[in-house]
Chain A
Amino acid sequence: MFLDFFYALRGEGISVGLQEWLVLMDALGRGLHGSSLGRFYNLSRACLVKSETDFDAFDRAFLRVFQGVEGSLDELEDEILQWLEDPKAFEGLSDEQRAQLEHLASDELLQRFLETLAEQTERHDGGGRWVGTGGHSPYGHGGEHPTGIRVGGPGRNRSAMKVAEQRRYKDYRSDQTLDLRQTKVALRRLRNLTRSGPLSELDLDETVDETCRNAGEIELVFRPERRNDVRLLLLMDVGGTMDPYYEPVSRLLSALHEERGLREFRPYYFHNCPYDLLGTSARLLRREALPTAELFRRFDARWKVLIVGDAAMHPAELLQPHGNIDPREMTETRGLDWLRRIQDHFERTVWVNPDDPDVWDRSQTCQVIQRLFPMFHLSPDGLALAVQALVGARTPH
């Protein structure tokens, strides 16, 4: 039952790792739960859950596993004690070994797991290296390794290869998901540090030089602090085909809003393709709109432009006059010409596309736009490349 709790938590989507689990074991070993289910609840939540957004999931898992236990708390205790003192589980591991194994980071563990899988050609039980059961290799099931990866379901004696084929580790992949923090880390590189503003920082080297020149009379030299000089203009496609990407795109937007390092940041919005007017909010209200031509007056060429959109639309929307699908607007200038003007005016413009790169070439308009702007995928790696293209050393496109 006790291990069920761990898997129930994982099942609810809480990212409990073995590191947190071992902390809880440590706490239980010290008797911090004081033989009370309520305190066990408090203790396990404090040790295992790191965000209040996961509290609800924790509660559901806790209820499911420990429902009906209140009457027989001793049973629970027994099980915990059993788990802690199970001679089979800790067999053959000295404290030193344990400590050593505990330090294996999970990435390293996964790497070695894959390597071991590649080496392994036959089934294996016991021992310390191969993937199998009952041993103390970090990989496998039924064995004991402090930070081990458990391979496969509750059944013993299953081939680790077969279980691994189910790709339980898909979720570990970092090129797939883009959370808020990853987004921010990628955007952190969006900087071009220059010294400007008030003299507020002591320049030690200059001070020493000047003092020497001054025959030992202290001459303090100050300089401006280094500041980020990047001004960013965001043009974002909203609505329609962009709706499925609401989550990642809004994370990008909130990361940009919170990125205080930027000197200036202005977002504007459009639907499918920018025409004569840009929305100043995602609602694209006409009365709040900014004439697109105004962009070129307000923002000089040094502004970096980040366009976010799937670049997929009907070809006429991009290539024909009056292409705007909004019937209220008469837009004689073609969408493509507006994009060209943006490209001409600003020194650096990149396009970030939330669509899977595999489908980019299926859309004719996406192909056309790719010839105009460097296009990157909205993923941690893609975003890093996009930022590089905006502020990095100039590469011919």
Chain B
Amino acid sequence: MADPNEFEKFGGTEGYIASPALVDAVNAAIALERPLLLKGEPGTGKTLLAEHVAEGIGLPIERWHIKSTTKAQDGLYVYDTVQRLNDARFGDGDVTDIRAYIRLGPVGRCFSAEDRHVLLIDEVDKADLEFPNDLLRELDEMRFSVVETGDEVVARQRPVVIITSNNEKELPDAFLRRCVFHFIDFPERELMQRIVAVHHPHLDAQLLDQVLIKFYWLREQDELRKKPSTSELIDWIAVLLRSGMSADDIEHHIPFLGALLKNERDTEALDQFAERGGTYPREWGQLGPRYNN
């Protein structure tokens, strides 16, 4: 049985306060040599976490940002045909060596590097439906072959793989089975106060309290299609401050709603709430049990 201390590598960094569950999930992924799949609402710091894991365990990071057009192959290597043709034409370089025109992608670079890397595959759900399946073998066996040369690229050091997903698409079961999974919760009241303090350090405590009550109340409303997230909260507070609003001003209504709700139907739904005579909460006690334990 291996020494458990060997895996106690990540414990959060100064810039990132990780919950115990997150630390355990990260360490399990490192120890079990399985990819860590991170999900969570947009704006909960998934990508940031990968950076801080790398920092926390002292490894360099290789980032692979996925777009809708990204193919699994791009992460392994790209064969630069145009360059080779060009060199052939102008006599630059040795065109007989195909290897000179094979450009490794992020996965390929991680495999061939001398030292261990953290490999971030960011927003995996942006890509095609089959994308995760196309990477299964490579991530399982930590090797792939270059078709043009017949070379095999084998990982010298198994990278720590961190995959983030915004839940835009369902991921295939076979892929999920291989991952250690963690869901980053939406920040609770206390954590949110700390986050807001970073962006608006001199915010009046009373105003902050009212702002957060309205914000969390909005998030509790099931009719909303797009719940406001942290970044929208920060923007909203900025607008309130610029316009000189005080805690009293927002006690009974929610000004500058456009900063929080980006969907017309959501705004309509909220208007209807007010028209029906609904009142906004003014105290934490009026919110659900989640914020009052």
Contact = CB atoms under 8 A, between A and B. Distances in A.
Interface of A: 15, 17, 19-20, 23, 26-27, 29-32, 34, 38-39, 42-43, 45-47, 49-52, 55, 179-181, 184-185, 188, 202, 204, 207, 211, 216-218, 220, 258, 260
Nearest to B24: A42
B277 interface: no
B24 A31 contact: no
Given A32-B24, A46-B25, A55-B183, A207 B170 contact: no
B7 A32 contact: yes
Contacts, number: 89
Interface string B1-34: 1101001000000000000110011011101101
Contacts of A39: 20, 24
B129 A204 contact: no
Interface of B: 1-2, 4, 7, 20-21, 24-25, 27-29, 31-32, 34, 37, 39, 68, 81-82, 85-86, 88-89, 129, 168-170, 172-173, 176-177, 179-183
Contact of A217 (B1, B89, B181): B89
A328 B34 CA distance: 61
Contacts of A34: 4
Contacts of B20: 38-39, 42
Those 3 A-B pairs whose CB atoms lie nearest each other, nearest first:
A31-B4, A42-B24, A52-B183
Contacts of A52: 39, 183
Contacts of B173: 15
Nearest to B27: A32
Given A47-B28, A181-B172, 17 more contacts: A27-B32, A30-B7, A30-B32, A31-B1, A32-B24, A32-B27, A32-B31, A38-B20, A39-B24, A42-B25, A46-B21, A49-B181, A50-B176, A55-B183, A184-B129, A211-B89, A258-B169
Contacts of A30: 1-2, 4, 7, 31-32
A180 B28 contact: no
A220 B168 CA distance: 38
B129 A202 contact: no
Interface centre among A46, A220, A260 (most CB of B within 10 A): A46
Nearest to A55: B183
A204 B68 CA distance: 24
A216 B86 CA distance: 10
Given A31-B4, A32-B27, A188 B129 contact: yes
Contact of A19 (B37, B177, B180): B177
Contacts of A220: 82, 85
B123 to A, nearest CB: 15
Contacts of A43: 24-25, 28
Contact of A202 (B32, B39, B81): B81
A185 B129 contact: yes
Contacts of B88: 218
A5 to B, nearest CB: 17
A32 B86 contact: no
29 contacts: A17-B177, A19-B177, A20-B177, A23-B34, A23-B180, A27-B32, A30-B32, A31-B2, A31-B4, A32-B28, A32-B31, A39-B24, A42-B24, A46-B21, A46-B24, A50-B37, A50-B176, A181-B170, A181-B172, A184-B129, A185-B129, A188-B129, A204-B81, A211-B85, A217-B89, A218-B86, A218-B89, A220-B82, A220-B85
A29 B82 CA distance: 52
Given A38-B20, A218-B86, A46 B1 contact: no
Contacts of B181: 46, 49-51
A23 B32 contact: yes
A85 to B, nearest CB: 11
Nearest to A46: B25
A190 B105 CA distance: 31
A138 to B, nearest CB: 18
Contacts of A26: 32
Nearest to B129: A184
Nearest to A204: B81
A39 B31 CA distance: 15
Contact of A47 (B68, B180, B183): B180
Nearest to A39: B24
Nearest to B170: A181
B243 to A, nearest CB: 37
B82 A202 contact: yes
Contacts of B24: 32, 39, 42-43, 46
Given A30-B1, A30-B4, A218-B89, A46 B82 contact: no
Contacts of A42: 20-21, 24-25
A184 B176 CA distance: 17
A43 B179 CA distance: 13
Contacts of B85: 207, 211, 218, 220
A26 B29 CA distance: 12
A204 B179 CA distance: 38
Contacts of B183: 52, 55
A156 B72 CA distance: 48
B246 to A, nearest CB: 38
Contacts of B86: 218
B89 A216 contact: yes
A31 B2 CA distance: 8
A311 B24 CA distance: 53
Contacts of A202: 81-82
Contacts of B32: 23, 26-27, 30, 47
A133 B89 CA distance: 72
A109 to B, nearest CB: 14
Contacts of A211: 85, 89
A29 B85 CA distance: 55
